[in-house]
Amino acid sequence: MDASKKVDLKIIIIGALGVGKTSLLLQYVHKTFHEDYQTTLGASILSKMVVVDNTLLKLQIWDTGGQERFRSMVSSFYKGSDGCILAFDVTDRDSFESLSYWRKEFLQTVIPTEQSFPMVVLGNKIDLKERQVSEEVASLWCLKKNIDYFEVSAKDDINIVQAFETLSRQALSRVGSSSFCKQLAVLAWIHMVMIFHVSFTTMDSPCASFPCTFLASVPYVDQHGQIS
């Protein structure tokens, strides 16, 4: 593994109140589970270092509150996300029905034109018997939207690592693809400027004696492919 390849990724967990978002986060990061948690107000953040596809990732994972009165605040945390976990409680039909709302709000806030944003759906609390949402129903919903679905238990640590690893791989692939495309755009921009420079200096103009230089303003591309 090449440590120089370390990539920072922001992962956000969203969903209705009481679906177990905090439990999922603590199980993944600290391998702990407690029956009672205080309701998350706003957001809490934990970090975890993992290796995916020979790349060192620093995951900054945001656990957001699901209360109605805090939704406008929570949506402000979406920006800058590289991946999203949609969570619901398999024993609570309403939490499943709300997935469409959470997904739509997230995509509209982060990147309205990209419906294939890195995202997974987690059906939590499969350790409980009082199911209201079957695996078939949840899987079909995800299939129609081309989203990977995982049946998980934060209590028994079932499929938690697999879900986060899948999302991390998706996010890493998108970051790499975006960076590559932006790098190509910069190279094309440089090529255009050089052609303009050559054309300009061959004309009877002040630049013929004092060649104009534009390359000093070549943009910088960060690890997320953003030009500055």
Tell whether 79 and 16 lie within a shared domain: yes
- Is residue 228 a part of any domain in this protein? no
Distance CA 119, CA 148 (A): 7
Query: For residue 125, what are the domain limits?
Result: 3-175
Q: What is the pLDDT of residue 175?
A: 87
Tell whether the model's pLDDT for residue 205 goes beyond 90: no
Mean pLDDT of 5-20: 93
Q: Is residue 209 part of a domain?
A: yes
What pLDDT band is residue 75 in, cutting at 50, 70 and 90?
Answer: confident
The one-letter code for the residue type at 101 is Y
| 113 and 201 share one domain | no
Rounded Cα distance, 109 and 4, in Å: 32
Please check whether residue 225 lies inside any domain of the structure.
no
Structure tokens at 94: 């309403």
Query: Is 223 inside any structural domain?
Result: no
How far are the Cα atoms of 35, 61, 67 from residue 171, in angstroms, in the given order?
Answer: 31, 13, 27
Structural domain contains residue 83: yes
SS3 188: helix
Above 80 in pLDDT, residue 153? yes
CA-nearest of 54, 144, 130 to 93 is 130
Same domain, 185 and 72: no
Half-sphere exposure of 166 (CA within 13 A, CB side): 15
Domain co-membership, 99 together with 211:
no
Question: Helix, strand or coil for residue 98?
Answer: coil
The pLDDT value given to residue 44:
84
37 and 100 together in one domain: yes
CA distance 198 to 219: 20
- pLDDT of 168: 98
| One domain for residues 139 and 187 | no
Task: Report pLDDT digits (tens) over 119-141.
Answer: 999 999 999 999 999 999 999 99
149 and 202 assigned to the same domain: no
**Does residue 84 have a pLDDT over 80?**
yes
Contact indicator for 103, 145 with CB cutoff of 8 Å:
yes
pLDDT value at 208 more than 60: no
With tokens 């690890």, the residue in question is 223
Mean pLDDT for 24-33 is: 96
**H/E element holding 14?**
strand 7-15
Block residue for tokens 């605040």: 73
Token duo for residue 160: 């938690």
Residue-level pLDDT at 14? 95
The H or E element that residue 191 is part of is helix 160-201
pLDDT higher at 175 or 71: 175
Same domain, 74 and 153: yes
Domain count of the fold of the chain: 2
- Report which of residues 44 and 71 the model is more confident about: 44
| Contacts of 18 by beta carbon, 8 Å cutoff, 6+ apart | 39, 66, 89, 92, 95
| Amino acid 92: pLDDT | 98
Q: Within this chain, do residues 53 and 113 fall inside the same structural domain, yes or no?
A: yes
Question: Is residue 133 a part of any domain in this protein?
Answer: yes
